[in-house]
Chain A
């Protein structure tokens, strides 16, 4: 996996656990994987509201917001986060979702504004490569 060079500003990623879902094994594995791949990663911990996640993303000035959701509540949660985009100035950030998301819901999430969905079992390098290859196209128009 390519490493970020020393003088390059590290890409900053927020990994967040929304809602009441307590499955955090995957989120923590992704945090470690992305750290090792040379990103700066902030992990929110469990049970965050959309407002808390939006605020943290804004305060930390992250480039990427990653949500880890395994409870099935991905769609309502993403709708609620999307409603906060303007208020928290998040519209320019890359937005990815990981976890258990049925294929039938992927398009719906993309319509809401999610850039990519990574289901359980996705290799860490695939996520890291996606971020590195696409984040340069950000901020989006």
Chain B
């Protein structure tokens, strides 16, 4: 029952003065008009240090005094060549990391020349069919200096293999290669939707990538667990953090059950969270989540090495927070979100661009997003000291309350059979979409205030057709992609492709780790679609549970 997941509100112990309007944050926690020393008398914060368990104050002792967070913008469109040009531009303007967007066919394991890809090739990201596309996209990019994040999930095992194979071909040492793949399939079933196989084999593939990377690419982060998309799909900030922890636990369990020591891989798991909403609630969310994650590793998995227990995160803001109405306001929202990211001790940010609510960002908008972060650091003093809000009566009180609420939510999920079960049966999706519906109703009624949307509108806003723009693909680029697949297929050794695909099928049936054979297949230039089809023959496709439980 989805309603069992519904969190209870957290009221105040002492009533607020008569006549004062109550304030309840998005997490359902009622906020006091004034916090005092009394509110943090049970807090453990005075004894906590950044860089030490339980990491509430940050995962490094010196945080941004030593190194700023990585600035990483989400980019990728059309084909590998056009994407490479944009990468070069982003590096020139000061990005120290790249975040690759893939088109939908690539994300769903479909080749560009497949009829199902019609109209979608290169539309929302870079089209990748074979290793050739990776070779072109990362041409002349120093992978030892620039860390690359692959925003890929359903077909992630294949894309990670391609990235590693490409790096190897270009002469980089894979054992020392840093970077991240999103590779979080469980959240795809709740939000984002680029699943391919059923839940069980999907989670098995995640285990394969974790196990393979632990052995062959130990510096690479094979999974970035995403609270982000579940939050964007409607859940509250407590649930965002709690569900992400539940998902991470599912991947740990999948890997540990194969006999892999948790200490060998848990330090390479990273996280991806969303930023929008109340500044203080968001900062407290990150601090509480970090603390809970460290405790979960200690309590549930017996991890003791503090180096493995810090919650590393990319915190990005925040597509759902941006509006088509008065789009320039999104620059100011972006500043708030970057401020939150800085105050929260994140490792990387990818700020949404102000025009992202209605189009693929222009270079100008990308530059503004980047400058927002740089300005906060250079002019705003955000990098001057570690965890600057620590000790605040309000922040510490809220951090403690949110940690307790997150812990309750994780326990509820566990009691209901675990997150994998709740997702397979559609219970979690039903709960999250119910929350999205309630949010929409509050937005429409004005109960939830959104500037330019339901308050502070100009007459112009009310009359204007809210317009969106779509990135126009050049038909030449698309033809180039289809020609490129044909050329790769003409030039490769077909016998080797067939041999590796036959082996892959056998491996999938035998239920062994598929990564070594996927590496062989991509190196032989087998395509994303060919590899996916072999796996789908064995695993089948995910059948989406459709549930709309009536609200209570």
Taking the closest CB of chain B, its distance from the CB of A88, in whole angstroms, is 19
Q: How far is the CB of A40 from chain B (nearest CB, A)?
A: 12
B-contacting residues, A4-55, CB 8 Å? 19-25, 28-29, 31-33, 35, 43, 45-47, 49
Assess the A76–B324 pair: CB atoms within 8 A. Answer: no
Are B104 and A100 closer than 8 Å at their CB atoms? no
Task: Report Cα–Cα, A33/B107, bound state, in Å.
Answer: 30
Chain A CB within 8 A of B191 CB: yes
Judging by beta carbons under 8 Å apart, are B468 and A102 in contact?
yes
B436 close to A28 (CB less than 8 A): yes
Per-position contact with A for B460-485: 1 when CB-CB < 8 Å, else 0?
A: 00000111111100000000000000
Query: Is chain A's binding surface mostly helix, strand, loop or mixed?
Result: loop
B118 at the interface (CB under 8 A from A): yes
Which residues of chain A are near B188, meaning CB under 8 Å? 22
With A35-B548, A102-B470 as contacts: A25 and B234 at CB distance below 8 Å: yes
Q: Is A121 an interface residue (CB 8 A)?
A: yes
Max chain A C-beta neighbours (<10 A), residue from B117, B119, B433? B119
A132 to B118 alpha-carbon distance, docked (Å):
34
Asked if A124 is at the interface of the complex by the 8 Å CB criterion, the answer is: yes
Chain B residues near A125: list those with CB within 8 A: 444
Within 8 A of A (CB), among B177-196: 188, 191-194
Find chain B residues with CB under 8 A from A71 CB. 104, 120, 123-124
Q: Tell me whether A20 and B436 are in contact (CB under 8 A).
A: no
Please tell me if the beta carbons of B465 and A43 are within 8 angstroms of each other in the complex: no
Residues of chain A within 8 A (CB-CB) of B323 are: 121
Bitwise, B220-236 to A at CB < 8 A (1) or not (0) is 00000000000011100
Supposing A47-B108, A71-B104 touch, asked if A28 and B437 sit within 8 A by C-beta, the answer is yes
* In the complex, chain B residues 431-451 whose Cβ is within 8 Å of any chain A Cβ: 433-434, 436-437, 440-441, 444
CA distance A71 to B122 in the complex (A): 11
A29 touches B104 (CB 8 A): no
Q: How far is the CA of A109 from the CA of B232 in the complex (A)?
A: 29
Is the CB–CB distance between A31 and B548 below 8 Å? yes
Tell me if A120 is interfacial: C-beta within 8 Å of chain B.
yes
Q: What band does the interface of chain B fall in when counting residues whose beta carbon is under 8 Å from A?
A: 35 or more
In the complex, which of the residues A25, A72, A77, A100 contacts B433, with contact meaning CB atoms closer than 8 Å?
A: A25
Q: Are A76 and B548 in contact (CB under 8 A)?
A: no
Partner of B444, one of A19, A103, A119, A123: A123
A20 touches B110 (CB 8 A): yes
CA distance A23 to B434 in the complex (A): 15
Which residues of chain A are within 8 angstroms of B544 by Cβ–Cβ distance?
Answer: 45-46
Which of B118, B193, B434, B465 has a CB less than 8 Å from the CB of A103? B465
* A114 shortest CB reach to chain B, Å: 16
A71 to B108, CA, bound (A): 14
Instruction: Give Cα A119 to B469, complex, Å.
Output: 12
Give how many A residues have a beta carbon under 8 Å from the other chain's beta carbons: 33
By secondary structure, the B interface counts as: loop
CA gap between A49 and B433 in the complex, in Å: 23
Residue numbers in A under 8 Å from B123 (CB-CB)? 71-73
Residue of A nearest to B465 (CB): A103
Neighbour of B233 across the interface among A25, A72, A119, CB < 8 A: A25
In the complex, which residues of chain B have a beta carbon less than 8 angstroms from the beta carbon of A102?
Answer: 467-470
User: How far apart sit A37 and B154, CA to CA, in the bound complex (Å)?
Assistant: 36
Q: Pick the contact of B546 from A19, A45, A123 — CB < 8 Å?
A: A45
Q: Are A32 and B108 in contact, with the CB atoms below 8 A?
A: no
**Closest beta carbon of chain A to B520's beta carbon, Å:** 28
| A22 contacts across to B, CB distance below 8 A | 104, 188, 191-194
Known contacts: A32-B433, A45-B546. The answer to whether A121 contacts B119 by CB under 8 A is no
Q: Which B residues lie within 8 Å of A45 (CB)?
A: 544, 546
Alpha-carbon distance A35/B550, docked complex (angstroms): 9
Contacts of B110 in A (CB 8 A): 20
CB distance from B469 to the nearest CB of A (A): 6
Annotate B228-261 by CB proximity to A: 1 below 8 A, 0 otherwise.
Answer: 0000111000000000000000000000000000
Residues of A within 8 A of B469 (CB): 102
Q: Is the CB of A29 within 8 A of B120?
A: no
In the bound complex, what is the Cα–Cα distance between A119 and B444 (angstroms)?
15
Let me know if B124 and A32 touch, CB within 8 A.
no
Collect the chain B residues with CB atoms within 8 Å of residue A100's CB: 358, 468, 470
Does chain A have a CB within 8 A of B453? yes
Complex interface: chain B residues within 8 A of A23 (CB): 192-193
Q: Does A101 contact B (CB under 8 A)?
A: yes
Q: Which residues of A contact B466 (CB under 8 A)?
A: 119-121
Residues of A within 8 A of B318 (CB): none
Q: Which residue of B lies closest to A17 (CB)?
A: B193
Contact call B233/A121, Cβ cutoff below 8 A: no
Chain A residues with CB under 8 Å of B234's CB are 25
Q: In the complex, A50→B104 CA distance in Å? A: 17
Cα-based distance from A125 to B441 in the complex (angstroms)? 10
| A103 contacts across to B, CB distance below 8 A | 465, 467
CA distance A73 to B122 in the complex (A): 12
Residue of A nearest to B120 (CB): A20
Q: How far is the CB of A18 from chain B (nearest CB, A)?
A: 10
Q: Is B325 an interface residue (CB 8 A)?
A: yes
For the complex, give the distance between the alpha carbons of A121 and B116 in Å.
29
Nearest B residue to A100, CB-CB: B468
Question: Given that A31-B548, A32-B433 are contacting pairs, would A20 and B465 also be in contact in the complex, using a CB cutoff of 8 Å?
Answer: no
The answer, yes or no, to whether B345 is at the interface (CB within 8 Å) is: no
Complex CA distance for A45 and B429, rounded to whole angstroms: 12
Using Cβ atoms and an 8 Å threshold, which residues of chain A touch B437? Answer: 28-29, 32-33
Tell me, yes or no, whether B58 is within 8 Å of chain A by CB.
no
Residues on A with beta carbons closer than 8 Å to the beta carbon of B118: 76
Considering the chains assembled together, what is the distance between the CA atoms of A100 and B175 in angstroms? 43
Residues B548 and A25 in contact, CB atoms below 8 Å apart: no
Across the interface, A32 reaches (CB within 8 A) one of B193, B358, B548, namely B548
CB distance from A121 to the nearest CB of B (A): 6
A49 touches B116 (CB 8 A): yes
Determine whether the beta carbon of B325 is less than 8 Å from that of A19: no
Q: Which 9 A-B pairs have the closest CB atoms?
A: A22-B193, A20-B104, A72-B470, A45-B544, A76-B119, A28-B433, A32-B437, A73-B119, A103-B467
19 contacts between A and B (CB under 8 A): A20-B116, A20-B194, A21-B104, A22-B188, A22-B193, A23-B192, A24-B191, A24-B193, A25-B191, A29-B436, A32-B433, A32-B434, A32-B548, A46-B544, A47-B193, A71-B104, A102-B468, A102-B470, A124-B440
